[in-house]
Structure 1
Amino acid sequence: MQIYLPIAEVSVNAFMLLGLGGMVGILSGMFGVGGGFLMTPLLMFIGIPPAVAVATEANQIVASSFSGVLAHLRKKTVDIRMGIVLQIGGLIGAGLGVVLFNFLKSLGQVDLLITLSYVFFLGIVGTLMFIESVGAIRRARNPAKAPPPKRRQRGWVQTLPFKMRFRTSGLYISVIPPVLVGVFVGILAAIMGVGGGFIMVPAMIYILGMPTKVVVGTSLFQIILVTGFTTLLHATTNHTVDMALAVLLLVGGVVGAQIGTQIGTKLKAEQLRVLLAGMVLLVCGKLASDLLLQPAELYSLGLSGGH
């Protein structure tokens, strides 16, 4: 069943969009990521213009993340206070990101920026996550060979001022690192149409020292407000949010997030991270090859005014 998307100005299969939304929703529930880092490139692959894919996908992330958060709230695995601090940084970052996005759009360079951002971040994050998770799986299989657990050392995060107690995470740290992480993820949300979970989750574990069990729910909680604000800014300044596309992705995403949360509780953390890393690297490879390979048509001619 073909459906015409008025803002994107293309016709696509409605069931394919529902399927894409469902698949990314499952990932959202399993990994605590908004899924935008996969959905935005997938939309670009099926012919949706990058600027529309970014703005509309931010909208879909809000719903799938909200659906995932409800499941995590029931399990009490959301650090609300940490989430609010991250959101403050995220709102500042989203505002800065949309300003940069609009500037590059006026120069005609926004599509290239989106693709390069994806290749760069997905390549780095996917590789690091893959190496770390494979090491964790090996240690789990050979516990005798595993090095003795290191005591958490007093890092630079503990030396900063403006400390706050985060009881759910069991932390007493400065609010500066969470705010900075939030700002960075907010900028990514505006430019790449992502919730930023693929950056946020590793940052929360390795920089902030949060326990893994509360990271996924807190990441999704932070994503909701930041991507909602990003969508609002894109809709009012760029007019690139395609509601027909958003609704189809939303329906699939909400259902998928509930399924993903159930699957996520049955798999080990190391297995989840290897799966996520593999997907990240696959998408990165496809985007990089599209940039490097010679297109089928070297020139595209825009005809206007009957000439």
Structure 2
Amino acid sequence: MELYLPIAEVSVNGPLLLSIGLVVGLLSGMFGVGGGFLITPLLFFIGIPPAVAVATSANQIVASSFSAILAHIRRRTVDFPMGIALMVGGLAGSTVGVYIFNLLRQLGQVDLLVNLFYVVFLGLIGALMFVESLNAIRKARVKGPQPKRRKGGRDWVHAMPVRFRFRASGLYISVFPPLLVGFFVGVLSAIMGVGGGFVVVPAMIYILGMPTKVVVGTSLFQIIFVSAYTTMMHAYTSHTVDTVLAVLLLVGGVIGAQIGTRIGLLLKAEQLRILLALLVLAVCLKLGLDLVLHPSELFSISAPRRL
């Protein structure tokens, strides 16, 4: 069933869009990511203009994340004070990111920028997560006492001023590291159309030192607010949010998030991280190949937008 998207100005298969939303919802529930790192490239692949894909995918991220976080709230695996700190930084970063996005859109460079951001950040983070997860699985298989993990890599986090106690995470650290992590994620959310979970989840584990059991729910909490704000900013400043596309992705995402939350509870933390790393690397490889391979059509002609 073909549907016409008025803002994107293309026709797409309706069931295909529902399936994309379902798959991304599964990821949201399993890994605590908004799924934008996957849904935005998938929209690229089926012919949605990058500017519309980035702005519209944030709608689906909000819905799937909200659906998934309800289960985590019931299980008390959300650190709300930490989530608020990440959210405040994220809102500031999103404002800066939307400004950069619109500036590059006016210069005609936003398509290249978005693809380069995906290749660089997905490749770097996916590789780091994959190596760390393999090491964690290897250590878990070794019998006998394990050496205690040194905290030297996070000394700068504990040395910073204005410290708060985050009871759900068992941390007493400065509020500045969560604010900085949130700011960086907010910039990526606006430019790449992502919730930022693929960045904030590793940052919460390896930089802030949060336990894995509260990372997923806390990540979803900040993703909801940052993605919603990013969507409103894009709709107001660039008018690139396609409502028809958003509704189809929302329906699939809400259903998939509930299923993904149940699947995630059946897997160990190391298994979840390595699966996420493999998925991130696969998307990075596809985007990287599209940038360097010779296109099937060197030129395309599109009709001018009617006013």
- Name the TM-score class by shorter chain: over 0.9
Q: Secondary structure at the match of 1:209?
A: coil
RMSD of Structure 2 on Structure 1 (CA): 1.3
- Which consecutive residues of structure 1, in runs of 5 or more, have no partner in the other structure? none
Matched residue of 1:38: which SS?
Answer: helix
| 1:6 pairs with 2:6 | yes
Shift of 1:272: 1.1
| Matched residue, 1:77 | 77
Given residue 241 of structure 1, which amino acid in structure 2 is its aligned partner?
V
Confirm whether residue 152 of structure 1 aligns to residue 151 of structure 2.
Answer: yes
Distance in 2, Cα, partners of 1:101 & 1:278:
28
Q: Could you say if the C-alpha distance between residues 47 and 71 of structure 1 is closer, same or farther in structure 2, counting changes exceeding 3 Å?
A: same
TM-score under structure 1 normalisation? 0.96
| 1:304 CA drift (Å) | 6.2
Tell me whether 1:244 sits opposite 2:244 in the alignment. Answer: yes
Displacement after TM superposition at 1:134 (Å)? 1.1
Partner of 2:266, secondary structure, is coil
Aligned mates of 2:42, 2:54 — CA distance in 1? 11
1:95-244 to 2 correspondences below 5 Å: 95-144=95-144, 147-153=146-152, 155-244=155-244
1:298 offset after TM fit, Å? 1.6
> Which secondary structure state, in structure 2, belongs to the residue aligned with residue 161 of structure 1?
coil
Match of 2:27 in 1: 27
Residue aligning to 2:59: 59
Q: Distance in 1 between matches of 2:84 and 2:303?
A: 50
Distance 1:170 1:10 in 2: 50
Deviations 1:120-164 (A, max 9, x none): 0000011111111111111122234x7412253461111111111
| 1:212-252 C-alpha deviation (Å, 9 max, x unpaired) | 10000000000001000000000011110001000000000
TM-score, length-scaled by structure 2: 0.96
What is the distance in 2 between the residues matched to 1:130 and 1:100?
A: 31
Q: Distance in 2 between matches of 1:294 and 1:151?
A: 48
* SS of residue matched to 1:240: coil
Aligned residues: 304
Which structure 2 residue ranges, 5 or more long, are not aligned?
Answer: none
Output the amino acid matched with 2:30.
Answer: M
4+ residue runs over 4 A deviation:
302-305
Partner Cα separation in structure 2 for residue 114 and residue 281 of structure 1: 17
Cα separation, 1, equivalents of 2:134 and 2:149? 19
Quick one: distance in 2 between partners of 1:62 and 1:286? Answer: 25
Distance 1:49 1:107 in 2: 16
